[in-house]
Amino acid sequence: IPTATSFRTFTVTNLDARRKQLKEAGHRVSFTHLIAHAIARAATEQMPVMALHFAEIDGKPHVIDDGAVHLGIAVDVEKKGGGRTLMVPVIRDAGRLTFPQFLDAFNDLIARARENKLTADDLQGANVSLTNPGGIGTVASVPRLMNGQGTIVATGSIGYPPGMANVDPARLNELGVDKVMTMTSTYDHRVIQGAECGSFLRRIGQRL
């Protein structure tokens, strides 16, 4: 697939504060939950072009519009015999779910992925995907885009800029230094243009 990648770095101060409020209210909500929902909503309501994908039908190129964002969530799964594999279960029409509905669907798929209970249908039909290498400290990455998808979004690690990690947090507040996260969107350049992808990342940042 002829791809290109856009990068955007966000401050996550507000996101972090909202997540803490949710956790204090008894909700088990991760950064990935919030980011995934923001991606699905942005692609559904503002940038549906990001879910378009390419197909060759009878030898002719076509742009396919599914009319919904089917969001694939990359899950690192430990295999029974040792080793690891990557599975990508799909949340159907993710951008039209309320956040509680989305949370339930997300958690159900992740639990079944780790219990090896996913069906073939659970793993098919993603047109937008999210992967989170930031969970192991990766700052930014350019993941591989699979056939049938318009874009794959990757989130980097959340933290203070390099060189700031050991500074007293109170001092960081005085200096106005925020935690940041870099997000990339690798997209099919036959279907999606750079300005559209840039706008998509901006919309996600606004939601977060």
Instruction: Divide the 208 residues of the chain into consecutive groups of 10 and give the mean pLDDT of each group.
Output: 95 90 93 96 97 94 96 88 86 97 96 91 96 91 94 93 75 79 97 97 96
Q: What is the pLDDT of residue 5?
A: 97
Q: What is the pLDDT of residue 7?
A: 97
Q: What is the pLDDT of residue 13?
A: 87
pTM greater than 0.85 (yes/no):
yes
Dmax (CA) of the chain: 63
Annotated catalytic residue 33: no
Q: What is the pLDDT of residue 165?
A: 67
Q: How many CB atoms lie within 10 A of CB 20?
A: 11
Active-site residue among 27, 33, 37, 189? 189
Per-residue exposure over 62-95, b if at least 16 CB sit within 10 Å of its own CB, e if not: eeeebebbbbbbbbeeeeeeeeeeebbbbbbebb
